[in-house]
A and B are shown apart, each in its own frame.
Chain A
Amino acid sequence: MRVIIIGAGEVGSSIAAGLADNHEVVVVDVDGERVDALTYSLDVLAIEGDGTSLSTLREAGIEQTDMLIASTDDDETNLVACGTAKTVDDPFTIARVKNVDYLETWEHAENAFGVDFMVCSNLLTAEDIVRVIGLPAARDVDPFAGGKVQMAEFEVDEGSPVAGQTVQEADRFESLTFAALLRENDVEIPSGETKIRAGDKVVVIGSPESVQGFAREVAPGATPTGNEDLVIIGGSEIGFHTARLLEDRGLHPRLIEQDHDRARELAEKLPDTVVMENDATDADFLAREHIDEADAVVATLESDEKNLLVSVLAKQLGAKRSVAVVESGEYVGIFETVGVDVAVNPREVTAEEITRFTRETHTENVALIESDRAEVLEIEVDRESALVGRPIREAVADLPTGLVVGAITRDREFVVPRGDTIIEPGDHVVVFVDMDILDDVSGKL
């Protein structure tokens, strides 16, 4: 298909690189130098111009375009570009925003701003951080249904409490589904009697809380239990959402913010978080607050340099793990070299999310298991779907084996799928599908 990407910065360029092989890509940017650079580095058509102006979009061939991705650094520009595109034609529009308010507005009315899919980089980054510190044992974690559902893959090792248990024994969580066990080369859809062996990889789908709970079962040593000391330094949007998501998982982080008003605001919004008002680069304060005993320190300040300083300081004092947000992609390697355990780059996270999304057509969201053995899809089902209008047990029985309904969200609320649950049109269903039957099944869902 033909894709127009507005913005040739880090995000736009890396999306373009991801799509150029299989699609016709046109990139629009106001900066002539970036346009030149892209012309020679990727097989795309790069145009100099303002993506919010109709004449530029026409020059880029908006009438023949199937998809428009607005990925500039400016939220409003992105929203206006999508809106402008919708005035001439109906391409599928994707907008990158930082501000979570826009995301909430859009989730409230799915055609708001003329945007068909919105990616909020602050929220995505926070989710990424939470995954890193909240589920260190997971090999892979992907959020679905706006974060209401999570898919996670764990490797069961020798010492794990669940090794040797049956699925029924291990599954003590209300809203968790065992989607699959991966052994050597086959994908097994487990029943209640299936025994989990050491070396298996387990794929579970469920609410974030239940996934967190299961992680404690699988790898008690490596998973925060709620008594862990997690410290977030910097009350930026990313810091706030990180704290909020950790609260959702039943954890109690501490958050350090220098600005008085902002600290107050955060304290009001985060009931389970201890908010402290101080300069985080103050080593005495950090020592006094026993940062040396922290299990993880997350630096989410507004500048890369400060994040680096704080992370190194915390590590030096004796914190176990440090995670830092890095705005410029080229520093990721440097950060990890000097001792930051994980550097998270919001731009990279956003670009990956958009690229992954565009690779799929009708599905809302997708995650690949073991790169190509199975897929987890999120689908908004309509009346035509084979899953709708009868109990899940019957619906699945009519489809080839290798499909598991992992979770359902109805009106943005989590619904636990049971054998007798009836799926309604408009529900978002997260399903696990074995790659062997994917082509066969994807048309029927």
Chain B
Amino acid sequence: MNGHLRVDWRASVSLVGTVVKWLAAAMLFPLVVALYYGEGITTFVAAIALSITVGWTLEQLDDDPDLGAREGFLMVALTWLAVSIVGGAPYVIAGEGSVAVPVNALFESMSGFTTTGATVMQNIGFEEHSRALMMWRQQTQWLGGMGIVVLAVAILPELSVGGAQLMDAEAPGPGIQKLTPRIAETARALWVAYLGITALEIVLLYGLHLLGNALGTPLAPNMTLYQSVAHGFTTMSTGGFSPAARSIEAFSAAVQWLIIPFMVAAGTNFALFWHVLNGESEHLFRDSEFKSYVGIIGVLAAVATALLVTGVGMARVPTIGPIAGNLEASARHATFQLASIITTTGYASMDFTTWSIPAKYLLFAAMFIGGSAGSTGGAIKIVRWYVILKSFKRELFTTVHPEAVRPVRLGGRALDERALRGIYAFTLLYIVIFFVATLVLFLNSTRNPDPVFPLSTLEAMSAVAATLGNVGPGFGVVGPMGNYLKFTASSKLFMVFLMWIGRLEILPVLVLLTPAYWRS
């Protein structure tokens, strides 16, 4: 122990090393992809060597790490940072296009692991980038979706005792639900459910493609096996990266309809799937968060459909032809886009920068909603909004009846007031950070000589909301068909920070910046 520090950082860093070392195993998949397509394997061989070396070196700091509560926060926060740095190495080593610049590689990697989906890749596609690298980009999101630390808890026995704490720091939403006596089993259960649904989506997407070939009618002509796997990875993780430059616009209407339910599933609490798999499907319909979540998507999608079909929601005619007056297309794009933004996936079935201000504003507001607790989604989360609305109702009631004692209930259980305070605090902090970050980004963008700058208000706000909420695309220059490449390096690093704190729900990272954390 260091005499001045009250935090045993060596233990934390050593376990971060263990996770980084295991990242090499994850890189075997793109290596296989490279072999399959006959591409060069040097990039990933070098990256694997790098992860093992870095991981092993960090591990040497403490041969028997013992995690306390404080060390847990540090370990989780640093794991995400370290994994993003090492996971960005393949972009640099490959040296292909804009992402070969280290700052951009870090941005792309952090955006991947945090399942944000904001990109700085200038030319998305296989002309400039190898298939292996594009698959790694998809895979980073899949690894980050259910959580790197949850995965580590599932496979590393040394993390079992402090596992609950670590998962709590990483898992989206307030508190974790233990499903089984052993935390490692809970982590495995979550990952197995995640893996299973991902596999199902891949099978259905590719099945649609094969069915179309068999019938002779192109149902999903572009949805090859590669694309099916790639999109399975980033739908279930609510990531939003796509190897196709035009995102999901590049695929057929059938594919778009098929992806919607999987995005909704990805934004659902995975503990519910576990219960369903155990034959207790009543959990699904009893869960107030799940009901509100599906309801919100339904209502907002209906509003957006109405806006689009009447033409109020369209400002320009998009490249795919007019949407107004076409009910199927309006419903499809409205539902897809709302589901994509609420779950913080960030796919686009069309270029929604062509939408009018009211429709865009609807999407912007949706960026703050977020998925369910315990899902792979980001932002504030349905459960928090649900609880806040219920406590507003209580405030109104107690204004009239000051003596009333009314606990706030969540799914029949009364919440204790401390949990309530935590929810208020997080939500307020999120909004404060959003405004401050917008200001910082604004000021920084005025120094940018590029003609697209300075940003409009909505553009700057959307860039912050999309990175902090792990959504991905915003409006204007950072729209679904655009990218974040034109920002200055300092702005990019700032957004890397936003993605990082957004994924870990702010507190585990911010607490590290308080002097009290490092003192006794």
Contact = CB atoms under 8 A, between A and B. Distances in A.
Contact of B164 (A2, A26, A40): A40
A18 to B, nearest CB: 14
Interface residues of A, number: 12
Given A40-B165, A40-B168, A45 B181 contact: yes
Interface in B174-194: 178, 180-184
Contacts of B168: 40
B183 A43 contact: yes
Contact of A24 (B161, B163, B182, B416): B182
Contacts of A400: none
A220 to B, nearest CB: 47
Interface residues on B, range: 10 to 19
Interface string A34-58: 0000011011111000000000000
Nearest to B183: A43
A193 B181 CA distance: 55
Residue among B161, B165, B178, B181 with the highest chain A CB neighbour number at 10 A? B181
A45 B178 CA distance: 6
B180 A24 contact: yes
Nearest to A45: B181
B163 A43 contact: yes
B288 interface: no
B22 to A, nearest CB: 20
Nearest to A2: B181
Contacts of B178: 39, 45-46
A2 B165 CA distance: 23
Contact of A26 (B160, B161, B165, B181): B181
A44 B416 contact: no
Contacts of A45: 178, 180-182
A25 B181 contact: yes
Contacts of B181: 2, 24-26, 43-45
A2 B185 CA distance: 14
Contacts, number: 28
Residue among A40, A43, A45, A46 with the highest chain B CB neighbour number at 10 A? A43
Interface string A41-79: 011111000000000000000000000000000000000
Nearest to A3: B181
Given A24-B180, A25-B181, A42 B416 contact: no
B440 interface: no
A144 to B, nearest CB: 32
Contacts of B184: 43
Interface string B138-160: 00000000000000000000001
Contacts of B165: 40
Residue among A26, A32, A40, A44 with the highest chain B CB neighbour number at 10 A? A40
A44 B164 CA distance: 9
A212 B181 CA distance: 45
B299 interface: no
B276 interface: no
Contacts of B182: 24, 43, 45
B5 interface: no
Nearest to A61: B181
B511 interface: no
Nearest to A44: B181
Contact of B69 (A24, A26, A40, A42): A40
Contacts of A42: 161
B76 to A, nearest CB: 14
B164 A43 contact: yes
B135 to A, nearest CB: 35
Contact of A39 (B160, B164, B180): B164
Contacts of A44: 181
Please list the 7 inter-chain residue pairs (A to B) with the smallest Cβ-Cβ separation, ordered nearest first: A24-B181, A45-B181, A45-B178, A43-B160, A40-B164, A40-B165, A43-B183
Interface of B: 69, 160-161, 163-165, 168, 178, 180-184, 416
Given A24-B180, A24-B181, A40-B168, 20 more contacts: A2-B181, A24-B182, A25-B181, A26-B181, A32-B416, A39-B164, A39-B178, A40-B69, A40-B164, A40-B165, A43-B161, A43-B164, A43-B182, A43-B183, A43-B184, A45-B178, A45-B180, A45-B181, A45-B182, A46-B178
18 contacts: A24-B181, A25-B181, A26-B181, A32-B416, A39-B178, A40-B69, A40-B165, A40-B168, A42-B161, A43-B164, A43-B182, A43-B183, A43-B184, A44-B181, A45-B178, A45-B180, A45-B181, A45-B182
